[in-house]
Amino acid sequence: MIQKAAELIRSAQNLTAFTGAGISVESGIPPFRGENGLWNRYDPQFLDIQYFQYHSGQSWPIIKEIFYDHFGDAHPNGAHEVLAAWEQSGLLKSIITQNIDNLHQRAGSKEVYEFHGNSRNLVCMECGKNFAVEEVSLEELPVQCTNCGGLVKPSFIFFGEGIPPLAYKQSVHALEQADVLLVIGTTGEVVPAGQLPYIAKEHGAAVIEINTEPSVFTKRITDVFLQGKASDVLRQLATELDKINTH
């Protein structure tokens, strides 16, 4: 299967990747679902936009603990690095990620569409002022706007919030062009993100899925399922590609 996937990747004109929390698990960031999933330990309600507006005193400490204390010291792993190298060599055109951990960019990837926003920035819900996370103190919670005193939230998308329009447009366009789509480390259970791989499939793309276990995509649209950890499988693919390219 690795060989079949490597052949597909080598012949791709518009290789695209769609990534989820699973690609960052080997960087020490827990997934949301499955064993060790964050939603087994925290009620996702704290990330519901309505709840946050009225109970930011309860939500903010959990947000800080999960997305700033933990994520802060995570580093890109081999999976992020292979994808960045494939973009560098012109093989991979873009990455659509559901992740907000910035690890693709820290691995060197440039064309990254953050479908759920990112945790690097925060925004005031009253006046819309943007803040870089370095600019605000997370010791005084909830975070208040220095401009108007309003409630400040991370720029990543909460449940009940819309997808950033630019990221949405860029993602759909990339998926309509894709001829090979890598689906890496995602259950596909959250919409509208989970609908994205179907766009590529409808436009004729071959789907290569990398996951430690099957997902909602596996039986429906996956052409090649490579079961395993993202960094192991991507390193194997990179090795296989080098072999093919040297022949």
The answer to whether 163 and 140 are in contact (CB under 8 A) is: no
Catalytic site includes residue 116: yes
Gap between the Cα atoms of 178 and 205, Å rounded: 6
Which DSSP string corresponds to 124-135?
ETTT--EEEGGG
Min dist CB 230 to ligand APR, Å, is 4
CA dist 61 and 140 (Å) reads 10
**Which residue in this structure is represented by tokens 């569409």?**
113
- Minimal distance, residue 70 CB to ligand APR, in Å: 14
Query: The tokens 């370095």 sit on which residue?
Result: 134
Chain residue at closest Cβ approach to ligand APR: 22
Task: Out of 116, 173, 203, 247, pick the active-site residue.
Answer: 116
- Which residues, numbered 126-185, are part of the site for ligand APR (CB under 6 A)? 185
The Cα–Cα gap between 5 and 234 comes to 11
Least distance in Å: CB of 147 to ligand APR? 28
Asked whether position 80 contacts ligand APR by CB under 6 A, the answer is: no
Q: Which is nearer to ligand APR, 117 or 145 (CB)?
A: 117
Tell me which of 33, 55, 129, 235 binds ligand APR, using CB under 6 A: 33
Ordered DSSP codes for 189-218: -STTGGGHHHHHHHTT-EEEEEESS--TTT
Q: How many helices (H) and strands (E) does the chain have?
A: 10, 9
Residue 34, both tokens: 């499955």
User: Which of these ranges, 33-41, 128-136, 173-181, 217-225, lies near ligand APR under the rule CB under 6 A?
Assistant: 33-41
Piece in contact with ligand APR (CB under 6 A), picked from 20-28, 83-91, 145-153, 236-244: 20-28
- CB of 121 vs ligand APR, minimal distance in Å: 16
Binding flag, residue 119, ligand APR (CB under 6 A):
no
Task: Classify residue 111 as exposed, middle or buried by CB count within 10 Å of its CB (0-12, 13-18, 19+).
Answer: middle
Mark 188-227 with x for binding to ligand APR (rule: CB under 6 A) and - for no binding. Answer: -xx--x----------------xxxx-x------------
Binding stretches for ligand APR (CB under 6 A): 20-22, 25-26, 31-34, 37, 98, 116, 185-187, 189-190, 193, 210-213, 215, 229-230
- The residues annotated with a catalytic role in the active site are 116
